[in-house]
Each structure stands twice: as structure tokens, then as C-alpha cells.
Structure 1
Amino acid sequence: MKTQQQRSKAHQVYEFGFRKTAGNRNDAPSLTQVEDCKKWLLKYAKKKRLPEERCLNSYYLKHVVEDAIGQYVTNGAFIQAAIELGFQYSSIVGPNAFFHIELRLPEDEWRRISPEGFSKWLFQQEHLEFAQKAMLDQTWPRKARRFIDFWRYLNSHGGWDTSDEDQLSDAWERCSGQMAPRPDWIDTDVVYDRQCDFISLGDPYPDAFEGMTHLYALVETENPHNFIRVRYVGQTISPRKRLREHILRPGSFDRVMWMGQLLHGGRYPQMAIFYVNAALSMANALEKAAIYAFSESETHWDDSLDGFPPLDDALLNIDK
């Protein structure tokens, strides 16, 4: 088998590629075009030994360069530039060379983002239509970790519909072995319309049944229209005891600040119990789903930011 050096001696590079017969100097590739191709190759091409069937045709590559720089270059100019930079070719077919080149084009950058966590697992499920669709989506959040990040993505990008939400949930449960915390499971209106149980400090309320828990929201009422604002979401077996704990030991710095402002104004938070006697096996997923659902409802315009705050800052929950 001939080496590249031996093949180069048998073929000469001229303006339009390789040929076996010698030409005159006027047939040589343009030095300016050769330099343009070199600049492009140094930026977007990588030397990589490839199977012969995956080597790239110089004529195709010269068109890629033209599209990138907005100027015409000849096949020969590209071949000359590649050879001078040390790129190897596997074969010569007519005037064209087939190079061992891996392209690193900007428009393909998304393909080089390695998926992590759920996306890594999902992309291995090639038999799933949802997985195939996600793999081909250039803006898919490949490094996201939380269910809500994928859920929000489906709801904010075109090409996805409600059936994809179901497929996402099914895939998440298969991957994690846990229920998917879908925000649409939670009816936030029962809190804002006061259609669920509300208790204040000291009010009695029955504990959850054995093996179950209550889901609740800590709320305050904004005057003058008595609007409900949800500030925290949690779960408890004993609502009366938990509300007292929240007031006496608020926990995080943000909750201490919020509670202090309320108490300074002579007000106390209330507890809205929006899901009664949830099975403990479902409680964590439902709680997280509720955090996501109320976060979206509580994202109000903030004059100090001159805009809307991030969704994840809407509630005072630490772990979102």
C-alpha cells in the first residue's frame, strides 16, 4: 500500500484538486485561498484517524469552508492547506482526497455536550421515541438534574406537546425508581380561593392517619385586597404542632427574615392544608410537585429587580 508521500509524488495538487500529469505554475492553488483554508482548519478541524468510509471528501470540505468564510476557494486550495498542516488522507479519487478529519463546527457544538444524569440514561434508551426526539433536540438541557428543569423545558420550547410530558414522567420514573413530581398534579387554586382548610396559631387540627401525612402551605394575607401569598410548602403529620414550630423556629435565614417582618407588624402566618392524608410513599413527590407548582404561581413582578425573579426564588424552601 502506498504511503501518503508516495501518493503525493504520483499526484500533483493543482487549482481544482489532484491530477497525475504535471501542470504549469498558473495551475497552482491560490496562496490566499490556501491561507484562508489553513485558518479555518486550525479553528474547526481536528486530526483523527478514521475508518476509510468515514474520511471526509475534500470537495465537500471546501464547500464547508466557503460557507463559513463567505468566499470562494478551490478544491486544490483546501487540499494544499490540509497537507501543509499535516492532515492525512486515506485515498485519492479523481481530483478529490478523503481526509482523516473530525470537524468541530460551531453549529454542532450541542452534539459535543455530554449528557449527564437523567439525560445520559435517556439517550441510552434508543428504543424510546421520546429519547430519540430528545437526542436530536439541539437545546435539550443535557446537564440538567431536576425533573422540573425538563418539565419547564417541554413547556417553553416548540415541538413538544402534552403527550411528551407523559413520556417524560414515565421515563423519569423508570430511571429514578421514584414518582415524577409533576406540577400539574397540584391544584393551587384551592389555596388561593380559600377552598381548603386554613388554621392559625393554636387552632386544633386532626393529625394525619397512620402511614399518611398532610401537605400544607405557609401563607400570608396581603392587604388591602386580602390576596393570599404562599411562602413555603411542606408536609407534616401534625399541622398544629408544625405551625407552632415554624413561628418559634423559622429555620433558614430567609424564613427568619420573613417571619420577623410578619411578627413585627403584629401578623402571623397561616397554614393552608391543601392535600389531606397523602400516602407516605407519595408524599415526597407530591411535596416537590407542590413546590414547583406554587413557585410558578408566586413569581410576581419585582420592582427592585425591574422584572420577574427566578422561579426557584419564589418560595422560601431551601431544597427545591
Structure 2
Amino acid sequence: MTRERVDKRAVRDLQEATGVAYADAVRLKAAFEKVLEEQPRLTYFGFGIFQQRGQTLQERQQEFAQRRTRLAAALPNVVKVYLWLRRNVQPIKTPAQGSYGLKHLAENVLGDYVSNGELIAAAIMAGYPMSTPHGPNANFAMSKRDIDRQRARAREERPSQRDVYQGRAILDEFSHLPLISDRDGDRWPCPTVGQHRAALGAIELALRDSWILDGVQQRDRWRTIDGHIDLDWVGGPYAWEVVRELLYFAENPNTGTIEPGELSPGINALGELNAVWLDGVRVRFRPFRPTGLARSRIAMWRHAEQDEPSPTPA
């Protein structure tokens, strides 16, 4: 395959993973490559590698090359962090926000693992002034007010004990279905494009036909770095409510969209019921400031009087 075809494939993969336009994907790919060229010590770990006692020079060089290659392959994740920063955090003059703390904040907000090197590359691409690196880390000139707002947002969106309790009750009701945890995700190969499109189409049809997300704001969808699907929205139902309604929908043989037994519930590492799995593809739900599923949105084949009221937002 020629270099030109490889580049076009990388651009289209970036488009599919992040939802950016083709021209923007070309620009962002070039900006990322410029960062790698101008920062020859930047790796997936950060600047350099973790120094392990007893490593030979050859072993350190080999690990550096591996970490460097891994960062070069992480363009979609870097762009997701870049887009989050550009949309939410203003630059200032004094670099005071450490990359390692920022990488944890990005994980909490975006819901995916972010390496220190990915955060640094994204921040450089976004144009934030950077301090001289100290160890693997660096500081960036970012508005403390904006960072504090993002930390508050991340705290708001953590699962409550009520969410975990509700999820367990739903899992008991659907105990005949296999439960898939994010910790088990490694046993599933990265979904093919065909699997991704088929799962997305089936779930979107089920959401449409069950009216679960009607009326929510700022609805969006993403392809994750590992080839799965994230659905975001503001307001509306909690993630466990969407999973519950989709399971009821799928288990009803009269709906015709998804066959009984095809859909499986999914939990994250915290035990939160926040996803469904269909044919090896995880569809994860990420509501921001949810208010609960309105009674009028509960599907017609359900008995709403059997449900507990949705939790009242704090």
C-alpha cells in the first residue's frame, strides 16, 4: 500500500473515530505529526520512559521506541482530548497545570483511558504554552477556573450508590442474559466496520422505536479508540434507565428490531450499569446532568407503576 493510501486511510479512520470533517482530520493529523517531530523525547508515557532499575541501555532504547510507536498510533485518542480542551479550557500566560493531573481529569470527563503522552500531545496541538518538562511531565498554561469547572463536571457524572443499586436490581431481573464487564473487554476483538455499523443501526432503531431519548439535548455519538460506540446527551434518562428500557425492548418478541437474547447488559469497572453489548460491540451511554426518564417515555408494553421513581437530581 502506498504512503498516500495509508495517509488517506488514517484520515478516514480519524474521521470515523472523532466525527470531525475530512479537512479538519487532515489538518489535525498534520499537527500531530508536527508535534512528534518537534518533541523527539515525547512518548506514550510522557517525556522519556520510566527508568527501571537494572535496565540495560539496549532495553531502555527498545522500550523508548515501543512507547514512541504507541503514541504515534494514538492519533484518534489525542484528537478527542484536543477537542475537549479546545471546547472547554481557555489558554492563559503562566503554565501551572500539570500534565499528569490533567490526564486523570480527561479520563474522568471523557470516560476512556488517556495516557500522559496523549494529554501532552493534545495540549501542544491546542497551542497552550508549555513549561520545560520535568521528568515525564510538563505544565500547561490553562485557565484554573475552566479546569475547576471540568473537575466539578466530572464529580457530577460519577455514578451514585443509587445508580449502582438500580443497576443491580435490573441485572437480577435479566439474570438469564450474560453480563459483560469492561474488564472483560480484552477478550473481544476490535469490532469490524461492518459490526460497528450494524450495532449502531440496530441500537438507533431501538432508541427511535422506544422513544427513550426523545427530547434530550445535545445528543452525540462517538466511535471509541477501541472501535466501540459512545452515546452522549444532556438531561433526560440515566444510563441504567436506557439499558433497562432497551433490554425490555429487545426481550419483547413483537418489536422486531433486536431478537430476544441478542442484547447483553454491560457494566464498567465501578459496577455501574451503563452499556449494552450487541454482536461484540459495546454501546455505552454517557448522560450529562440527567434528570430521569419521564413516565411518558416509558415504552407502551411496560408497566410503569412497577418502577420506582427516578432519583431526584441534587
TM-score by length of 2: 0.29
Kindly name which structure, 1 or 2, has the bigger radius of gyration based on alpha carbons: 1
**More contact order relative to length (CA 8 Å, sep ≥ 6):** 2
Give the number of the structure whose residues are more often strand, by fraction. Answer: 1
Normalization by structure 1: what TM-score? 0.28
